[in-house]
C-alpha cells in the first residue's frame, strides 16, 4: 500500500492506505479523528465535511489518492476548549444545536465560508450551509452563531 | 367529621424505583452523581434534570455528573418518549434530591449541634450560626442513601428555585463543539470488529441462495453469519466489512416478500384493510338540531421517515453466555427485554448501556441495529462488534411514521355554527416499540431461522395520550361528537412511533376544517377558536401568538397567514402557531410565530430550542416529506429521493413562552408539529384560496387543488 502524505490540522500526517479508501475511513478508523461523521456515504448530507484550503469538502467519498499533499483541517484543528475558534465559542453562546451530530460538518462549512468571506450576510451564510443537512431544526441558531463569530472576528 | 387528606404519593418513576441511591450518589470530593433512567436524544433532557437536582440539593450545576442509563445500575424509567421525561424523571429527581438534602441536614445538625432549621446549604457546604460548617462530602460516609424514598420530603417552592426556571447552557454542547467523542458512533471499543447486515430490498423476502465464496476471499474478513434469512459479515475494518457485504450481496438470491400498497392512493389502501375499530370518545347534546348542511372532508398524510442524520449504530460483546450491548435506544430496559426473548436468555445475562446517538424523533432503527450487533458478535469470539447501518438501510428498513386518512364531518346550523362533529381515522398503529409484548419488535427477530412474526403496530391507550387517535378529541366546545379510530391489522409498510404519533394528522384535520368553517361564517379564525374554547391557558397561547404576529396583518397579494392550535395529547403542552407564507403555486414558509405553555419551563432556552426544532421539522414534513415506494420496495432511500428542508428554506421562528412556575412541568418536544402543520395549510388557503388536504403540500398538490376548485 502506498504511503500517502498530507497535512492534518497543521501537522504532517502519513498513512499507508489503499488509494481507493475514503479519507473519512482513514481519519476515523486509523487516525482517531472522529469529528467528521458518517451520514450518508454519498456526499449528500455534509456530516463528514473537512476543510481543504478554504473549501468544505465531503470526506466520505474522497479517495485517499486525492488527499496526497493536501492541507486538511477538521474540528479537532479549529480550536480547543482552552483556545476556542470564534465559531466554537459562538455555537456555545447560541446553544446552536440539538443532537449535534451534524455540527462538526457545519462548523467546517462555516469556517471555510469565513475564510473566503469574513463578513457574510445572513443569506450568504444560509447559502454556504445549504449542503449541510440538520434534522433537528437548529438551523436558525447555527446561522446566528456564524454571524456572531464573524462579528467577533472582525472586531479590532 | 373531617376526612383525612390522602397520603402523599411518590412520583410514578420513583414509586417504581424507590431506592434513593439508585438516583443520587455523593461521589468523591465535590461531586454528585445523578442517574436518571431517561436518555439524551438531543433534546437537552440531561441538562434539565441536572438543573432540577442542582436546585434541590443546593449545589452548583458544574458539580453534577450525569450518569448514562444502563440496565446494570439505573432506575428503570421505561422509554424516553412522549415528551414525558421532565414529568417523570424530573419529578422523581426533584423529590429524591429534596429528601437527600433533608437527610444531610439532619446529619449536619447532629454533628454541629445546631437545629436543622438554622442550617443553610450553599454549593454543598452546610453552615449555621457561629460559622459552624460541614459539607455533603464530609458527611457522605455517615448518610446512607441505600433506602427507599418516603413520601414526606417537600421540594422547594417555585420562588426559591435558583437554577430550574432559568436558561442554562446545555452540559453536552461543549463536547460536541470541541470534537470530544460523545456519540456512540465515535466511541469504538478497543479491539473492535465491524459488522454489516445483508438485507433484501423487498421486505419479508426469503434468502434462498447465499454464495459465500467471494465474501470469504475479502482480506480482513473474520466471519460470515447466516441464521435463516438473516445474514451478515464481521471484519477487522469498516472497509473490509463493506467489501465483504458487497460480495455477499452479489452471492445472494431472494424470493417472495410482501407487496406494498399503491403510494398514490394511500387513503384507498388504508380504508380497504381489515381494521380494529374503537370509539375514542362521544359527546351527546341534550337536543339535536337538524343540521342545515354537513361538510365532509378527508385529510391524509403519507408515511414519514425519521431520517436521523446518523445511521443507527450499536456495539455488542459476548462473554460466554452473557452479552453487553451499547446502544442509542430510547429504552435500555425495553430493548433488554426483547433481546432476552430472541436470545432465550434471562434478562440478567444482558447488560444494555446507553450511549448518545443523533436525534431519532421516535422509534427508528436504534433497537434493530442492537440485535444485529448481538447476532453478529456471536461469531466474534468474545471481541466487541460494532454495526452501523447504511443510509439506504436507514431509509428503507427502519420503521416509519404511519400514514393516515382522516374523515371529518361537521354538521352546521343555519348560521354555520357547529352542531355535530364526526372524526374517523384510518391508520396503522403508531407504536411497535420493543419490550412491551410477548414477542419481540426487532427487525432481525423476523429474519432468523426460528422467526417471530412482524409486530403489528398498536396504539397506546387513551390515558397515555393514544396513538393514531392522539389529539383527535377536540378541545373545543362543540355540542356533540363521535371520534372513531380504525387501526389496521395488516402492515405492509413497517411503522412505529414518530414524533407526535397521530397528533400531527389529527390537529391538521381539526384545525383545517375549523378554519374552513370560520371562513364560511366570515369570522376571524382566531376569534372563532377563542369563542369555542373554555380553557384559559389555551386562550392565552392563542392570544399571545396573535399579539406577537400582529394578527392579522393587512392582506397582501402573494402572502398568506394561518393559525393552528393544540394542547399536545390534550393534557400536555399548549401551543399556538401562526404561519406566514408566500408564493403562487410553489410556496415558501417565511415566518412561524409560536406561543407555548409547558407549565414550569425548567430551561426556557431549552424549551424554545425544542419548539423551534419541532416547528422547523414539521415545516419540512408539510412541504417536502413523503416516503416513496413502488409495489415491491421503498424507493426513497437517499437524501436525493427523500429531501428535507435546507438552510435557505427554513423560516424565521419566533417563540414566546408563557412561564407558569407554579404548574408542574410538561415536555415541549412534540407540542409544535400539529399546530404548525395546520397553520401552514391555513396560510396556503389565505394566500391562494385553495385547501390542500393531502400532505405534503407540494406544487403538484396545490395545482391539483386549484384545478379541483376551478
pLDDT tens digits for B197-249?
999 999 999 999 999 999 999 999 999 999 999 999 999 999 999 999 999 99
A18 contacts on B by Cβ (under 8 Å):
239
B672: Cβ–Cβ under 8 A, 6 or more apart, which residues?
B575, B577, B594, B596, B610, B611, B614, B615, B618
Nearest to A44 among B173, B613, B640 (CB): B640
A49 interface with B at CB cutoff 8 Å: no
Span B83-89, average pLDDT:
90
- B39 contact A CB<8A: no
Task: Please say whether the beta carbons of B97 and B24 come within 8 A.
Answer: yes
Confidence of residue B252 (pLDDT cuts 50, 70, 90): very high
Residue B224 near residue B183, CB atoms below 8 Å: no
Minimum-distance CB partner of B178 among A81, A102, A127? A81
pLDDT bin (cut points 50, 70, 90) of residue B151 is: confident
Are B179 and A74 in contact (CB < 8 Å)?
yes
Report pLDDT for B7.
Answer: 54
- Beta-carbon separation of A99 and B169 below 8 A: no
Chain A residues 99-128 with CB within 8 Å of chain B: 99-104, 107, 123, 125-127
Packed helices A122-129 and A139-154: angle between N→C axes, nearest 10 degrees: 120
Between chains, do A40 and B358 touch, taking CB under 8 Å as contact?
A: no
Angle at B230 between CA B227 and CA B231, to 5 degrees: 90
For residue A141, which residues of chain B lie inside 8 Å, CB to CB? 609, 612
Per residue in B532-548, pLDDT tens? 999 999 999 999 999 99
Which secondary structure element, helix H or strand E, spans residue A126, and what is its range? helix A122-129
Q: Contact at 8 Å (CB) between B9 and B139?
A: no
Q: A37 CA to chain B: closest CA distance, Å?
A: 8
Confidence of residue B286 (pLDDT cuts 50, 70, 90): confident
C-alpha cell at A59: 470526506
**Predicted pLDDT of residue B28:** 79
Query: Which residues in chain B are contacts of A56 at CB distance < 8 A?
Result: none
- Comparing C-alpha atoms, which of B627, B369, B355 is closest to residue B498? B627
Whether the per-residue pLDDT at B6 is higher than 60: the answer is: no
pLDDT bucket at B13, cuts 50 / 70 / 90: very high
Q: Does B169 touch chain A (CB under 8 A)?
A: yes
Tell me, what's the pLDDT at A60?
Answer: 97
On whether the CB atoms of residues B88 and B14 are closer than 8 A, the answer is no
Q: Which of B571, B576, B569 is nearest to B599 (CA)?
A: B571
Work out the number of other CB atoms within 10 angstroms of the CB of residue B187.
Answer: 16
Of A95, A130, A140, the CB nearest to B652: A140
Whether B676 and B619 have beta carbons less than 8 Å apart is answered as: yes
Quote the radius of gyration of chain B (alpha carbons, Å).
27
Distance CA B388, CA B37 (A): 25
Contact (CB, 8 A) for B155 and B164: no
Position B1 confidence tier, pLDDT thresholds 50, 70, 90: very low
One DSSP character per residue, B560-582 reads EEEEEEEEGGGTS-EEEEEEEEE
Nearest to B308 among A95, A97, A135 (CB): A135
Q: Residue B585: its pLDDT value, please? A: 78
Q: Where are the extended beta strands (E) located within B434-497?
A: 481-488
Q: Note whether A44 contacts B638, CB cutoff 8 Å.
A: yes
Tell me what the mean pLDDT of segment B352-366 comes to: 98
CB contact under 8 A, A101 and B183: yes
**Distance from C-alpha of B27 to C-alpha of A112, rounded to nearest angstrom:** 43
| Whether B610 and A34 lie within 8 Å, measured CB to CB | no
CA distance B253 to chain A (A): 25
| Partner A contacted by B177 (CB < 8 A) | yes
Q: Where is A146: in which H helix or E strand?
A: helix A139-154
Q: Chain B: nearest CA to A45, how far in angstroms? A: 7
B173 contacts on A by Cβ (under 8 Å) = 91-92, 95, 97, 100
Query: What's the start-to-end Cα distance of chain A, in Å?
Result: 49
Cβ distance of A37 and B185 shorter than 8 Å = yes
Q: Is the pTM of this model over 0.95?
A: yes
pLDDT at site B4 = 53
CA distances from B434 to B261, B329, B396, B493, B499 (A): 26, 10, 19, 18, 17
Cα→Cα distances B280→B82, B185, B430, B459, B571, Å: 19, 42, 15, 12, 16
Does the pLDDT value for residue B2 go beyond 50? Answer: no
pLDDT, one tens digit per residue, over B109-128 is: 999 999 999 999 999 999 99
ipTM over 0.85: yes
Read off the pLDDT of each residue in B667-674 and give the average, rounded to a whole number.
97
Spatial distance between the Cα atoms of A138 and A135, rounded to a whole number of angstroms: 8
CB contact under 8 A, A21 and B239: yes
Q: What's the confidence (pLDDT) of residue B437?
A: 92
Question: Which of B178, B181, B614 faces A88 most closely, judged by CB atoms?
Answer: B178
CA B101 to chain centre: 33
Contact between A40 and B615 using a beta-carbon 8 Å cutoff:
no
pLDDT in tens, B378-392: 999 999 999 999 999
A60 neighbourhood in chain B, CB within 8 Å = none
Segment B401-443, tens digit of pLDDT: 999 999 999 999 999 999 999 999 999 999 999 999 999 999 9
With an 8 Å Cβ cutoff, are A135 and B644 in contact?
A: yes
Where chain A has pLDDT below 70, the residues are: none
- Cα nearest neighbour of A27 on chain B: B186
Does residue A82 belong to the interface with chain B, where contact is any CB pair within 8 Å?
no
Closest Cα of chain B to A135: distance in Å? 6
What pLDDT score was predicted for residue B710?
Answer: 78
Distance from CA of A136 to the nearest CA of B (A): 5
Please report the pLDDT score of residue B586 as a whole number.
Answer: 86
The C-alpha of B335 sits at a distance from chain A's nearest C-alpha, in angstroms, of: 21
Please tell me the predicted confidence (pLDDT) of residue B565.
98
Q: Which neighbouring-strand residues pair with A7?
A: A12, A71
How do residues B631-663 score in pLDDT, each as one tens digit?
999 999 999 999 999 999 999 999 999 999 999
Residues 394-453 of B with CB under 8 A from A: none
Q: What is the pLDDT of residue B238?
A: 94
pLDDT tens-digit map of B131-150: 999 999 999 999 999 999 99
pLDDT of residue B638: 98
Q: Helix (H, G, I), strand (E, B), or coil: what is residue B227?
A: strand
Amino acid at each position: 500500500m502506498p504511503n500517502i502524505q498530507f497535512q492534518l490540522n497543521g501537522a504532517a500526517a502519513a498513512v499507508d492506505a489503499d488509494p481507493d479508501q475514503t479519507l473519512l475511513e482513514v481519519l476515523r478508523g486509523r487516525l482517531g479523528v472522529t469529528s467528521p461523521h458518517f451520514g450518508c456515504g454519498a456526499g449528500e448530507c455534509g456530516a463528514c465535511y473537512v476543510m481543504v484550503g478554504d473549501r468544505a469538502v465531503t470526506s466520505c467519498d474522497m479517495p485517499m489518492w486525492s488527499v496526497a499533499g493536501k492541507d486538511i483541517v477538521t474540528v479537532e484543528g479549529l480550536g480547543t476548549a482552552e483556545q476556542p475558534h470564534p465559531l466554537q465559542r459562538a455555537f456555545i453562546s447560541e446553544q446552536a444545536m440539538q443532537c449535534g451530530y451534524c455540527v462538526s460538518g457545519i462548523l467546517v462549512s462555516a469556517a471555510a465560508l469565513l475564510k473566503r468571506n469574513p463578513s457574510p450576510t445572513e443569506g450568504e451564510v444560509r447559502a454556504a450551509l445549504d449542503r449541510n443537512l440538520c434534522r433537528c431544526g437548529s438551523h436558525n441558531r447555527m446561522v446566528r452563531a456564524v454571524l456572531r463569530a464573524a462579528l467577533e472576528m472582525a472586531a479590532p | 367529621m373531617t376526612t383525612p387528606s390522602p397520603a402523599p404519593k411518590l412520583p410514578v418513576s420513583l414509586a417504581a424505583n424507590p431506592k434513593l441511591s439508585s438516583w443520587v450518589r455523593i461521589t468523591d470530593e465535590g461531586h454528585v452523581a445523578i442517574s436518571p433512567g431517561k436518555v439524551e436524544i438531543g433534546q437537552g433532557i440531561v441538562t434539565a434534570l441536572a438543573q432540577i437536582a442542582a436546585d434541590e440539593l443546593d449545589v452548583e450545576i458544574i458539580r453534577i455528573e450525569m450518569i448514562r442509563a444502563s440496565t446494570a445500575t439505573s432506575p428503570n424509567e421505561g422509554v424516553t418518549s412522549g415528551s414525558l421525561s421532565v414529568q417523570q424523571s424530573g419529578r422523581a429527581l426533584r423529590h429524591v434530591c429534596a429528601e437527600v438534602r433533608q437527610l444531610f441536614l439532619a446529619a449536619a445538625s447532629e454533628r454541629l449541634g445546631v437545629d436543622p432549621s438554622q442550617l443553610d446549604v450553599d454549593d454543598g457546604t452546610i453552615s449555621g450560626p457561629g460559622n459552624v460548617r460541614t459539607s455533603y462530602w464530609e458527611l457522605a460516609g455517615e448518610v446512607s442513601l441505600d433506602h427507599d424514598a418516603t413520601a414526606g420530603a417537600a421540594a422547594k417552592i417555585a420562588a426559591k428555585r435558583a437554577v430550574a426556571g432559568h436558561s442554562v447552557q446545555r452540559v453536552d454542547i461543549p463536547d460536541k463543539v470541541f470534537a470530544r467523542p460523545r456519540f456512540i458512533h465515535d466511541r469504538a471499543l478497543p479491539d473492535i470488529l465491524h459488522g454489516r447486515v445483508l438485507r433484501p430490498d423487498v421486505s419479508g423476502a426469503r434468502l434462498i441462495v447465499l454464495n459465500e465464496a467471494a465474501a470469504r476471499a475479502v482480506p480482513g474478513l473474520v466471519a460470515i453469519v447466516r441464521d435463516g434469512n438473516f445474514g451478515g459479515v464481521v471484519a477487522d475494518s469498516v472497509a473490509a466489512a463493506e467489501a465483504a457485504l458487497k460480495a455477499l450481496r452479489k452471492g445472494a438470491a431472494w424470493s417472495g416478500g410482501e407487496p406494498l400498497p399503491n403510494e398514490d392512493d394511500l387513503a384507498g389502501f388504508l380504508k380497504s384493510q381489515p381494521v380494529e375499530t374503537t370509539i375514542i370518545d362521544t359527546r351527546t347534546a341534550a337536543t339535536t338540531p337538524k343540521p342545515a348542511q354537513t361538510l365532509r372532508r378527508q385529510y391524509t398524510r403519507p408515511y414519514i421517515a425519521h431520517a436521523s442524520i446518523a445511521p443507527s449504530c450499536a456495539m455488542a460483546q459476548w462473554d460466554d453466555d452473557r452479552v453487553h450491548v451499547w446502544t442509542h435506544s430510547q429504552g435500555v430496559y425495553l430493548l433488554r427485554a426483547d433481546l432476552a426473548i430472541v436470545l432465550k436468555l434471562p434478562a440478567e445475562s444482558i447488560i444494555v448501556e446507553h450511549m448518545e446517538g443523533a436525534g431519532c424523533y421516535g422509534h427508528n432503527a436504534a433497537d434493530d441495529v442492537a440485535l444485529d450487533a448481538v447476532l453478529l458478535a456471536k461469531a466474534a469470539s468474545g471481541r466487541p462488534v460494532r454495526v452501523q447501518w447504511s443510509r439506504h438501510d436507514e431509509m428503507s428498513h427502519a420503521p416509519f411514521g404511519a400514514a393516515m386518512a382522516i374523515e371529518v364531518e361537521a354538521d352546521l346550523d343555519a348560521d354555520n355554527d357547529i352542531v355535530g362533529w364526526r372524526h374517523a381515522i384510518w391508520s396503522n398503529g403508531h407504536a411497535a416499540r420493543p419490550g412491551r409484548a410477548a414477542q419481540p419488535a426487532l427487525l432481525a427477530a423476523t429474519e432468523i431461522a426460528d422467526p417471530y412474526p412482524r409486530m403489528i403496530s398498536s396504539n397506546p391507550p387513551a390515558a397515555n395520550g393514544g396513538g393514531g387517535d392522539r389529539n383527535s378529541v377536540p378541545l373545543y366546545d362543540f355540542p356533540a361528537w363521535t371520534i372513531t379510530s380504525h387501526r389496521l391489522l395488516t402492515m405492509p409498510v413497517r411503522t412505529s412511533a414518530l414524533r407526535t404519533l397521530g397528533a400531527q394528522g389529527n390537529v391538521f384535520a381539526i384545525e383545517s376544517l375549523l378554519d374552513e368553517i370560520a371562513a364560511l361564517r366570515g369570522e376571524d379564525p382566531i376569534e372563532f377558536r377563542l369563542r369555542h374554547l373554555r380553557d384559559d391557558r389555551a386562550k392565552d397561547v392563542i392570544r399571545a401568538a396573535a399579539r406577537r404576529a400582529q394578527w392579522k396583518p393587512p392582506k397582501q397579494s402573494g402572502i398568506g397567514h394561518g393559525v393552528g392550535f393544540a394542547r399536545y395529547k390534550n393534557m400536555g403542552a399548549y401551543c399556538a402557531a401562526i404561519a406566514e407564507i408566500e408564493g403562487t403555486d410553489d410556496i415558501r414558509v417565511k415566518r412561524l410565530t409560536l406561543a407555548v405553555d409547558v407549565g414550569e419551563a425548567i430551561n426556557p432556552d431549552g424549551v424554545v430550542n425544542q419548539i423551534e426544532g419541532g416547528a422547523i421539522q414539521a415545516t419540512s414534513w408539510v412541504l417536502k416529506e413523503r416516503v416513496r415506494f413502488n409495489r415491491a420496495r421503498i424507493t426513497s432511500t437517499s437524501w436525493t429521493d427523500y429531501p428535507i428542508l435546507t438552510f435557505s428554506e427554513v423560516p424565521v421562528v419566533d417563540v414566546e413562552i408563557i412561564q407558569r412556575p407554579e404548574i408542574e412541568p410538561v415536555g415541549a418536544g412534540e407540542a409544535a408539529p400539529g399546530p404548525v402543520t395546520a397553520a401552514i395549510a391555513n396560510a396556503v388557503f389565505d394566500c391562494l384560496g385553495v385547501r390542500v388536504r393531502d400532505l405534503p403540500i407540494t406544487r403538484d398538490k396545490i395545482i391539483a387543488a386549484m384545478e379541483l376548485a376551478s
